[in-house]
Copies of this chain bind each other. A is one copy, B any other.
Amino acid sequence: MGAVIAAVETVDLRFPTSRDLAGSDAMNEAPDYSAAYVVLHSDSDSGPEGHGFTFTIGRGNELAVAAAAAIGRRAVGWEVAEVVGDLGGFSRWLQADSQLRWLGPAKGVVQLGLAAVVNAAWDLAGKVAGQPVWRLLADMDPQQIVDLVDWRYLRDVLTPAAARDLLDARVPGRAARTATLEAEGYPAYTTSAGWLGYDDATLERLCREAVDAGWESVKLKVGADLAHDVRRCAIAREVLGPRRRLMIDANQTLGVEDALRWMEALAPFDIHWFEEPTSPDDVLAHAAIARAIAPTRVATGEHAHNAVMFKQFLAAGAMGVCQLDATRPGGVDEAVAVLLLAAAHDVPVCPHAGGVGLCELVQHLAMFDYVAVGASREERMVEYVDHLHEHFVDPVRLVGTSYRAPERPGYSAEILPETRRAYAFPDGPVWARTPP
């Protein structure tokens, strides 16, 4: 018998980002970027640990930590080889406690906790294989990829056989796309210029710095005050010039009518996509907005909590850009389901990132998508925010405005041990000095 998962450690990590206004938007005015952090420990002295987390914005992170602990208990006793050999089965096992399922199902805090544990299992699998997760996935054969997915509720829109066909068709190009990826990286866009809490002068300066740094695509937060947003979009478009892309993000603040009013007023600034106009649960409202503002596309998905939601958004034409998050659905396996659904609908995936560690995770998903699923970089880009990367063992590396492909084994999820001590909530020195 090989190494066995012997303990699941959880840590409540919080970064006091609300002390400045980086990260502010119309819905989330003062976030403290946080991670409900999980370490899978095996009983082997020499074997690797699996690190994973889910992302929250502060208060309540203790709930995600407690959920990860409750779900993580189910991992104890699994052989590492079994986990690595059947990551889909392991993920389904974690979800198979009907009492915990009641608290979702597959949504909210229990889903966040699940994502942390599943992501840690993938980090472990990458380390065992000596591969970064994007490459571990991209080296799987199509049937292995299909088997990662829980198909129970998806077959009415995409069957496993159709997913297999889609993947098979893209096998021949994998090697060439991998080479392109390693040579050129994966395109990114920046949100750092446009946080809602910044004044006009700061916005203008940051947009100019973005242009100078070579960014071709910039996103602005909107949704609190239309006159304010018109002024900010005018500033941004002036600085960006006519050719660069300007995206806007309302962070769920609007109803359908207001969303259309906003878009009408901002359309003169040539908006590339309109992100999260309304409730993230509202497939039909997003579909109505999408029809009304075409050809401008609706981007959403960072708060879509499972593959059933993505399935509906895609089938209803309510999601023109798929902004998959790495920690809100149930981790890598469910992300694979979403990538397959998006590819089947020919919708580009532009993952949600920022926060703490989301860039580190989603780069793997986007690169796997490029090599084996979506198989294109057309209209694809990963969000980038230059924030908190210094806390990671294997931080993202940008070359120009592209993500460079990770090379180290694992999911790039591991946070430095000294950070895990310093930012532990509420007893780490960062918080002990300044209570929230």
| Per-residue B-contact encoding for A243-260, CB less than 8 Å = 1, 0 else | 000000000100111000
A199 to chain B, nearest CB (A): 21
The 8 Å CB contact of A99, one of B32, B103, B152, is: B32
Q: Does A398 contact B (CB under 8 A)?
A: no
Q: Quick check: is A288 within 8 A (CB to CB) of the other chain?
A: yes
| Complex contact B101–A112 (CB within 8 A) | no
Contact A63 to B308, CB < 8 A, known contacts A102-B57, A278-B153, A282-B153: no
Q: How far is the CA of A269 from the CA of B335 in the complex (A)?
A: 41
For the complex, would chain A's binding face be called helix, strand, loop or mixed by DSSP majority?
Answer: loop
Is A168's CB within 8 Å of the partner chain B?
Answer: no
**A156 (CB) vs chain B CBs: closest residue:** B256
A283 at the A/B interface (Cβ < 8 Å)?
Answer: yes
A108, A110, A256 pick with most chain B CB within 10 angstroms = A108
Chain B: CB-nearest residue to A312: B284
Please measure, in the bound complex, the distance between the C-alpha atom of A135 and the C-alpha atom of B17, giving whole angstroms.
Answer: 47
Determine whether the beta carbon of A63 is less than 8 Å from that of B60: no
Stretch at the interface among A23-31, A341-349, A369-377: A23-31
| Segment at the B interface, from A3-11, A64-72, A187-195, A408-416 | A64-72
> When the two chains form their complex, are residues B257 and A155 in contact, meaning their CB atoms are under 8 A apart?
yes
Query: For chain A, which range describes its interface: under 10, 10 to 19, 20 to 34, or 35 or more residues?
Result: 35 or more
Does A239 reach chain B (CB closer than 8 Å)? Answer: no
Picked from B28, B67, B278, B308, the residue with its CB within 8 Å of the CB of A109 is B67
The answer on a CB contact under 8 Å between A279 and B308 is: yes
Give residues of chain A (134-170) contacting chain B, Cβ–Cβ below 8 Å. Answer: 152-156
- Residues in B whose Cβ lies below 8 Å from that of A280: 105
Bound state CA distance, A309 and B305, in angstroms? 14
Q: How far is the CB of A278 from chain B (nearest CB, A)?
A: 6
Inter-chain CA distance A56–B154, complex, in Å, is 27
Q: Is A208 an interface residue (CB 8 A)?
A: no
Contact B98 A31 (CB under 8 A): yes
A312 and B283 within 8 A (CB)? yes
Chain B residue numbers with a CB within 8 Å of A59 are 70, 97, 99-100
Which chain A residues numbered 288 to 305 have a C-beta less than 8 Å away from chain B? 288, 303, 305
Is the beta-carbon distance between B106 and A109 smaller than 8 angstroms? Answer: no
- In the complex, what's the smallest C-beta–C-beta distance from A51 to chain B, in angstroms? 22
Residues of B within 8 A of A58 (CB): 99, 102
Question: Is A182 part of the binding interface, using a Cβ–Cβ cutoff of 8 Å?
Answer: no
Which of B28, B110, B282, B284 is the one whose CB lies under 8 Å from A102?
B28
Residues of B within 8 A of A105 (CB): 252, 279-280, 303
**Closest B-chain residue to A104, C-beta based?**
B108
Residue of B with least CB distance to A59: B99
Report which of B98, B152, B256 forms a contact with A155, defined as CB distance below 8 A. B256
A279 and B57 CA atoms in complex are apart in Å by 28
Closest residue of chain B to A316 (Cβ to Cβ) is: B284
User: Chain B contacts of A66 at CB under 8 A?
Assistant: 62-63, 66
- CB-defined contacts of A152 to chain B, threshold 8 Å: 255, 279
A109 proximity list for chain B (CB < 8 A): 63, 67, 103, 108-110
Whether A230 is near chain B, meaning CB under 8 Å from some CB there, is no
Alpha-carbon gap, A152 to B59, bound state (A): 24
Confirm or deny: A206 has a beta carbon within 8 angstroms of a beta carbon on chain B. no
Which residues of B have CB within 8 Å of A153? Answer: 255, 278-279, 282, 285
> Can you pick out 22 interface pairs between chain A and chain B where the beta carbons lie within 8 Å of each other?
A27-B101, A56-B102, A58-B102, A59-B99, A60-B70, A62-B66, A63-B63, A66-B66, A67-B109, A105-B279, A106-B281, A107-B305, A108-B108, A108-B110, A108-B111, A153-B279, A154-B255, A155-B256, A279-B308, A281-B305, A281-B309, A284-B316
List the interface of chain A (C-beta within 8 A of B): 27-32, 56-60, 62-64, 66-67, 70, 97-112, 152-156, 252, 255-257, 278-285, 288, 303, 305-306, 308-309, 311-312, 315-316
